[in-house]
Amino acid sequence: VQTALRGLFGWRTPRDYWFPEIRSLGGAILVMASVLYPYVYLTARTAFLQQSVCVLEVSRTLGHGSWAVFLRVALPLARPAIVVGVILALMEAIGDFGTVDYFAVRTLTAGIYEVWLGMGSAAGAAQIALSLLGFVLLLIYVERLARRDRRFHDTTARVRALPQFTLSRPRAWLAFLACLLPLAVGFLIPGGILLKMALGRLAQSWDSAFLGYALNSLGLAMAAALISVGIGLFLAYGQRLHNTPLQRAVTRLASIGYAVPGAVLALGVLIPFGAFDNLIDGWMRAQFGLSTGLLLSGTVTALIFAYVVRFLALSFGSVESGLAQITPSMDMAARSLGNGPGAALFRVHVPLLRGPVLTAVLLVFVDCMKELPATLILRPFNFDTLATHVYTYASTGRLEDSALAALTIVLVALLPVILLSRAIASARPGHSAVH
């Protein structure tokens, strides 16, 4: 933008004009809002599509205009979904490290790295991590407290297609530009710049080192995704069989990792794993005079474990929603044919859960591909992924050299966005009847 302005007006030095400092708190807020708004958009769009048109029409018969119906009826009904989207965006912003570090913004997450890696103080980093974790838990508690004893559902089973309105040409252009603006700022313009940089440095960037980073990312992400989906399937099926308060508490506890920032989770994994490694190494030295080194904390095992804990909620949620769509009579039929719970799971439920399981694998896979905070702390020596490769080069100002890896992550991340958008559009009650 500044290059275009200098070329247009003939400015030569920064003293000739004023432009807001992009590497600042305001710049970081703009960038993070541009990339995190889909959390709110997707959840809100789902909620609005699920609403009954009949409820909205009843409000119109009571004399309310379009804006009044939206503010008094549609928006309150969509409130839980909007709040969930806002909470998810807040958690992503709180746990972000790459953006705030590049924009020179001091946050608690950045403080964990400074204290841990810069000062070598594990205790100080743990104190910051605990304060950050406490804030996240408080955020979750406040959101659930606000929803307590409230109901946000329609009371009618009548479903009709949402009416479509034809806008006049000026309003249609305004609506188009309003919808295009966040897409352009958050994806089209950055994606175009990355593509230009990647093509300009393709010969230098496409080498054996890049392929190694890609293979590391693929291997870690696929291993974590398969393990996470396996555990999520076990937990969801166990809750289906024994929906007790204890079982629900266990599944809720297992799913809380998604709310924990990556840096906090990495410390929570590294400290006990390191203590275990030191214990085993000390015992082996005392008994046999041999050093075992780092068995867990210095390997990809700790990294995969952190990924599984971090993203287990995604796999559990996808599998649980899929199981909820399978009628309990299927379980009864399997039992009547002499199949136990395990046989019923693999012979009946798993084939029916192919779609939700593949969705869960894809979601966890993509999140692992772009996970940076936990990877930076837990990765073994001389072990890089695409995310850490992008961070290393971007932090030293070599944006062109990081463009190919960044573009690869973006293209991989587009897959779940496309699938989720199609699923949301087709999941509205009465969709099949309408089309």
Indicate whether 351 pLDDT > 80.
yes
What average pLDDT score do residues 279-300 get? 85
The answer to whether residue 215 scores a pLDDT higher than 90 is yes
Same domain, 316 and 258: yes
Based on its alpha-carbon atoms, the radius of gyration of the chain, rounded to whole angstroms, reads 25
Asked whether residue 227 falls in the same domain as residue 303, the answer is yes
Residue 177 counted as domain residue: no
Residues sharing a CB contact under 8 Å with residue 395, sequence separation 6 or more, in sequence order: 101, 102
State the CATH number of the domain containing residue 199: 1.10.3720.10
Query: Residue 185 carries which side chain, given as an amino acid letter?
Result: V
**For position 150, what pLDDT does the model report?**
54
Residue 304 pLDDT more than 90? yes
State the Cα–Cα distance between residues 294 and 275, nearest whole angstrom: 10
Picking from 101, 132, 156, the residue at the C-terminal end of a domain is: 156
pLDDT value of position 432: 44
In this predicted structure, what is the pLDDT of residue 161? 59
CB atoms within 10 A of CB 62: 10
Q: Is the pLDDT of residue 57 over 80?
A: no
d(CA 38, CA 44): 9
Residue 205: the pLDDT is 85
Residue 19 has a pLDDT of 76
Look at residue 72 and tell me whether its pLDDT is greater than 60: yes
What pLDDT was estimated at residue 118? Answer: 76
pLDDT for 5-46, tens place per residue?
777 887 877 777 777 788 888 888 988 998 888 888 877 887
Give the amino acid at 63.
G
Range(s) of the domain holding residue 106:
20-156
Our count of domains for the chain comes to 2
What is the crossing angle of helices 25-50 and 399-426, to 10°?
A: 20
Q: In the prediction, which pLDDT does 427 show?
A: 55
Q: Hey, what's the torsion of the CAs at 126, 128, 129, 132, to 10 degrees?
A: 160
Q: Is 104 helix (H, G, I), strand (E, B) or coil?
A: coil
pLDDT for 148: 61
Q: Does some domain include residue 174?
A: no
Q: Which residues have C-beta within 8 Å of that of residue 292, sequence separation ≥ 6?
A: 277, 280, 281, 284
Same domain, 282 and 371: yes
pLDDT score for 370:
87
More confident residue, 174 or 243: 174
Is the pLDDT reported for residue 435 higher than 50?
Answer: no
Q: What is the mean pLDDT of the chain?
A: 82
Rounded to whole angstroms, how far apart are CA atoms 169 and 222?
Answer: 48
State whether 64 and 202 are in the same domain: no
Asked if residue 299 lies in contact with residue 380, where contact means CB atoms within 8 angstroms, the answer is: yes
> Given a cut of 80, is residue 58 above it in pLDDT?
no
Q: For the chain, how long is the longest CA-to-CA vector? A: 86
Q: How confident is the model at residue 230 (pLDDT cuts 50, 70, 90)?
A: very high
Looking at the structure, tell me whether residues 129 and 266 fall in a common domain: no
Domain identity same for 286 and 148? no
- pLDDT interval class at 434 (50, 70, 90): very low
| Nearest Cα to Cα of residue 345 among 245, 432, 234 | 234
Considering only residues 91 and 191, tell me which one the structure prediction assigns the higher pLDDT: 191
Average pLDDT, integer, range 138-147:
71
Query: In the prediction, which pLDDT does 412 show?
Result: 86
Would residue 10 count as lying in a domain? no
Residue among 145, 114, 146 at smallest CA distance from 129: 114
pLDDT band at 426 (very low <50, low <70, confident <90, very high): low
**Range with lowest mean pLDDT among 26-40, 129-143, 306-320, 366-380:** 129-143
Q: Which of helix, strand or coil describes residue 142? A: helix
> Of the ranges 66-75, 118-127, 225-234, 264-273, which is most confident?
225-234
pLDDT band at 227 (very low <50, low <70, confident <90, very high): very high
Q: How far apart are CA 122 and CA 113, in angstroms?
A: 10
Query: Averaged over 275-304, what is the pLDDT?
Result: 87
Per-residue tokens: 355: 């779609």
Indicate the range of 143-157, 171-185, 192-206, 245-259 predicted with least confidence.
Answer: 143-157
Write down which residue in 127, 156, 185 finishes a domain: 156
Whether residue 289 is predicted with pLDDT greater than 50 in this model: the reply is: yes
Is the same domain home to 362 and 295? Answer: yes
- Spell out the long-range contacts of 77-82 with Cβ–Cβ below 8 A and sequence spacing 24 or more: 77/47, 77/51, 77/152, 77/153, 77/154, 78/44, 78/47, 78/48, 78/51, 78/152, 79/152, 80/47, 80/147, 80/152, 81/43, 81/44, 81/46, 81/47, 82/40, 82/43, 82/44, 82/47
Residues 403 and 254 in one domain: yes
Q: Of 156, 179, 201, at which residue does a domain stop?
A: 156
| Residue 162: pLDDT band with limits 50, 70, 90 | low
pLDDT band at 433 (very low <50, low <70, confident <90, very high): very low
The CA-atom distances, in angstroms, between 63 and each of 58, 160, 163 are 9, 21, 19
pLDDT of residue 154 exceeding 70: no
User: Is residue 27 a contact partner of residue 21, using CB atoms and an 8 Å limit?
Assistant: yes
Q: What percent of the chain has pLDDT above 90?
A: 13
In terms of pLDDT, which residue wins out, 410 or 251?
410
pLDDT band at 293 (very low <50, low <70, confident <90, very high): confident
Q: Is 205 found in the same domain as 80?
A: no
188, part of any domain? no
Which has the higher per-residue pLDDT, 409 or 22?
Answer: 409
Q: For residue 151, which amino acid is it?
A: R
